Structure 1
């Protein structure tokens, strides 16, 4: 089965250009590529030739620890939510009032376990917001 032709034939990259760079020039272009939103070195070179801006991406290493902690809290909250859903399902299935009261008390305990996690999450978010908004 043949491939469909692109609708806009003018935008197809059909003319390869081979250039040679010194080691220093190549490192400069490669550094631009690694720190930018471009998917290839060729895209970096095309943007340079077309005089278009290259968006450089900056990773703040100081944010790694809070982001990892927030990801762990997110996982824990998700697990607690799954437990609450299971307990709610068991509550709705049960016919016995004693069993229903057991499931409701178990769900209340689970809700209490989630409160400190949410408080810690809010502390982290407020610290991140202070850091973000000071710029």
Structure 2
């Protein structure tokens, strides 16, 4: 039983590490020195209430894109599940993700209470069933 717990821990740790690495991959358009300027990362995954609704997905994507207007948002990427190899460590159950970069923790805190962010939640929260947020800072 002890080995099963350790194996589950290692699988979970590997999945989180792979997810963090994969989430940075689309940023090839950003130069290395640009990402260094924005060390705070806010990565959000959304599960739709109606996962088969293209209209709901497009509404959510449009809503997420409004967040780029917040002055402390330095870079914003919006994604959908990629058609990659199916593996046990890959979670492709979500529908839309947002990846936002901030210069500092204060900028991320400003984002959380910003009227545009609150309006996004008001206008789009009816679309999602579940949300998971991963916040990280460069080390």
Shorter-chain TM-score tier: under 0.3
TM-score, normalised to structure 2's length?
0.26
Q: Greater strand share, 1 or 2?
A: 2
Q: Greater helix share, 1 or 2?
A: 1
TM-score, normalised to structure 1's length?
0.26
When Rg is computed on C-alpha atoms for both structures, the one with the higher figure is: 1
User: Larger relative CO (CA 8 A, sep 6+): 1 or 2?
Assistant: 2
